[in-house]
Amino acid sequence: DTEVTQTPKHLVMGMTNKKSLKCEQHMGHRAMYWYKQKAKKPPELMFVYSYEKLSINESVPSRFSPECPNSSLLNLHLHALQPEDSALYLCASSHREGREVYEQYFGPGTRLTVT
Amino acid sequence: QQPVQSPQAVILREGEDAVINCSSSKALYSVHWYRQKHGEAPVFLMILLKGGEQKGHEKISASFNEKKQQSSLYLTASQLSYSGTYFCGTEITSGTYKYIFGTGTRLKVLA
């Protein structure tokens, strides 16, 4: 199974709402990533979890809150977002051992619209 | 620090070849290549780790120059399915870990 799943596929939320994005993989990967992608731009790294611990926070605003309940699941909690946060949110996973570099497997993404 | 890709966009006829370049002002630890079709997730193509390395995958191959500052992706006898946006990606290992994608190259193959 080389699939990363993400739910929901689409999400529309108001600026006062609280919502969560979910990501799941069953490839035994111990690194999981959240990316934000605007139209016609490359994905931008937001968070990296390595062995269920947050290792990187790319100075992302606190209205985005990641959570890694176990090695297969990754959540992104959203609160008080701004319209400019509308984008495609991609989850990815990879093997990670020390400095060994492995390919990332991406989920299909959640297209978020903030109204 | 973001790798710069060239060209920004290219249009091909089926069967034609293309080269996409990924350049950095500093040596890269590694280079990954991904293809992203419209409305879909990026899909991994290949990874290069060593200066001077060349790697192939059917009609798609890539090279990494000796100084590890440039990688090129070669698309041979292009097919309609090659259409999409190609990104190089790399890890930045000075200070905190970062993973960064290049600027992207939009490729369209016409019948």
Per-residue pLDDT of chain B (111 residues; tens, 9 = 90+): 899 999 999 999 999 999 999 999 888 888 999 999 998 999 999 999 888 888 887 799 999 998 889 999 999 999 999 999 999 999 876 666 788 999 999 999 999
Which pLDDT value is given to residue A82? 95
Which pLDDT value is given to residue B32? 95
Q: Count of CB atoms within 10 A of residue A41's CB?
A: 14
Residues in A closer than 8 angstroms to B43, CB to CB, are: 106
Q: Count of CB atoms within 10 A of residue A94's CB?
A: 23
Residue pLDDT, tens place only, A46-101: 999 988 889 877 789 999 999 999 999 999 999 999 999 999 999 999 997 766 67
- What average pLDDT score do residues A12-31 get? 94
Residues in B closer than 8 angstroms to A55, CB to CB, are: 97
CB of A104 less than 8 A from some CB of B: yes
Which pLDDT value is given to residue A86? 97
User: Exposed/middle/buried for A16, CB within 10 Å: 0-12, 13-18, 19+?
Assistant: exposed
Nearest-Cα residue of chain A relative to residue B40: A108
Query: Which residue, chain included where needed, has tokens 């905190």?
Result: B96
Which pLDDT value is given to residue A99? 67
Average pLDDT over all residues of chain A: 92
Residue A34 predicted with pLDDT over 90: yes
Closest by Cβ to B104, choosing from A42, A55, A106: A42
Tokens encoding A8: 């929901």
Residues in A closer than 8 angstroms to B41, CB to CB, are: 4, 90, 106-109
Helix (H, G, I), strand (E, B) or coil at B28: coil
